[in-house]
Amino acid sequence: MQLISPDRIYASYEVETAHPLADAIAIMAGEQSSGTFLQVPGETLELKERSGARIEAIRETGSAAQPSLPGASAPKAERAPTWRRAETLISWPLGNLGPSLPNLMATVAGNLFELQQFSALRLLDITLPEAFRDAYPGPQFGVAGTRRLTGVEGRPLIGTIVKPSVGLSPAQTATLTQQLVDGGIDFIKDDELQADGPDCPFAERATAVMEVIQRFADRTGKQPMFAFNITGEIDQMLERHDLVASLGGTCVMVSLNSVGLPAFSYLRRHCSLPIHAHRNGWGLFQRSPHIGMSYVAYQKLWRLAGADHMHVNGLKNKFCEADDSVLRSARECATPMFAGEGRGCEVMPVFSSGQTVRQVPATWKGLGSPDLIYAAGGGLVAHPGGVASGVRAMRQAWEAAMAGIDLDEHAKVHPELRQALEKYA
């Protein structure tokens, strides 16, 4: 996508329609700017020229005999319409909405999803004017800040998720944390289901966990990062953030789709710690090939708002995303959104979901960068030798992959890796 004007917002879509492509897309551009379903008195040519969305490009990509989604209309004259697929690029003047992420959503991802002219409509990408970068802070820590806080350089951060996800008491969570940090883990996160329920209150959990981590850091000079899930109402999130910071913690986690962009931005402006961004609920945007949003577009919104770590799923995950899509998401997180020193909003991708030592070589090969968090829950804590062995096995797998050594070969002299390969066969 080529940026044509610095004062316009660009969004590309994949669409399917039985109507003439240009007509249907003109309705979409109208609905999302100055038009409605019929001409109204004040809609002058001059107004349309100034405020209307502009169709920049249409490229037909294929067709289908049947509509991909129900409810779409077809021209009345056609008994067996062709449902054409196309990619289109649409632009809006920044003057319509200004550099506002919430209002951007209403413009590029609002009513258009419901238009009956389309039997499929997905947002593929967005390109934003520099004014958005001026209005939003972007990530505060990103890759460099996360490495600085953890002291891990030149290799991925080996991470894990507290499992069982829910059900452990604060004291049990601290005990598990003790095992993990003793085992050499770099990064631990709460499960997204564990926030501040009455059965495991946040303040008690954070206090118990940070006592373990502080003691470990005092002894070893190395402080593993624990991402505490502060998801909640705004006052709760700020209060929990402040508690984590006061306890010497180095990361907070938020469920993006639970909190929304303005609450996230509000937290970011208050925040003194990296924000680990969890995308649970993402399936709503991604599962259907015919409606929704690509992660390429989605992750830009949150990076600009200030996420430091973005979840991208993992290779051969327990969900249903294909490996090439996972790798594309991860690469996108490292691609600058804006030009200029410190303006790119690059973030650290988090590989997670059904990960074990098995996926390490392909992850390294596919990404070609060690700038990631590689998080495994069951794939690490269920190691037959215990969590410490699980951590060691994961580090051994990454050493091998980055040195170009076959895992089975490396396992001959690394018993924890061998056990992991047997367990996660």
The answer to whether residue 47 forms part of the interface with a copy of itself (CB under 8 A) is: yes
The answer to whether residue 166 forms part of the interface with a copy of itself (CB under 8 A) is: yes
CB half-sphere exposure, 321, CA atoms < 13 A? 25
DSSP-assigned states of every residue in 405-419: --HHHHHTT-HHHHH
The answer to whether residue 371 forms part of the interface with a copy of itself (CB under 8 A) is: no
Evaluated on CA atoms 298, 301, 304, 310, the torsion sign reads negative
Sole binder of a copy of itself in the list 64, 382, 402, 405 (CB under 8 A): 382
Q: Are strands 309-311 and 275-278 parallel, antiparallel or unpaired?
A: parallel
Q: Are 4 and 102 in contact (CB under 8 A)?
A: no
> Of the listed pieces 30-38, 364-372, 394-402, 408-416, which binds a copy of itself according to CB under 8 A?
30-38
- Span 83-102, contacts to a copy of itself by CB under 8 A: 93-98, 100-102
The answer to whether residue 237 forms part of the interface with a copy of itself (CB under 8 A) is: yes
DSSP state of 140: S
The answer to whether residue 361 forms part of the interface with a copy of itself (CB under 8 A) is: no
What's the min distance (Å) between Cβ of 5 and a copy of itself?
Answer: 15
Question: ω before 164 within 30° of 0 (cis)?
Answer: yes
Q: Are 255 and 282 in contact (CB under 8 A)?
A: no
The answer to whether residue 151 forms part of the interface with a copy of itself (CB under 8 A) is: no
The answer to whether residue 6 forms part of the interface with a copy of itself (CB under 8 A) is: no
The answer to whether residue 388 forms part of the interface with a copy of itself (CB under 8 A) is: no
The answer to whether residue 71 forms part of the interface with a copy of itself (CB under 8 A) is: yes
Q: Are 170 and 205 in contact (CB under 8 A)?
A: yes
- Span 256-315, contacts to a copy of itself by CB under 8 A: 257-266, 280-293, 313
* Residue of 34, 24, 29 lying closest to 10 (CA atoms): 29
Sole binder of a copy of itself in the list 17, 32, 146, 294 (CB under 8 A): 32
What's the min distance (Å) between Cβ of 214 and a copy of itself?
Answer: 23
Sole binder of a copy of itself in the list 58, 64, 193, 362 (CB under 8 A): 193
Residue nearer to a copy of itself on the CB measure, 288 or 369: 288
Sole binder of a copy of itself in the list 63, 82, 116, 335 (CB under 8 A): 116
* Residue of 294, 299, 382 lying closest to 346 (CA atoms): 299
DSSP-assigned states of every residue in 160-214: EE-SSSS---HHHHHHHHHHHHHTT-SEEE--TT-SS-TTS-HHHHHHHHHHHHH
The answer to whether residue 197 forms part of the interface with a copy of itself (CB under 8 A) is: yes
Size of interface with a copy of itself, in residues (CB under 8 A): 104
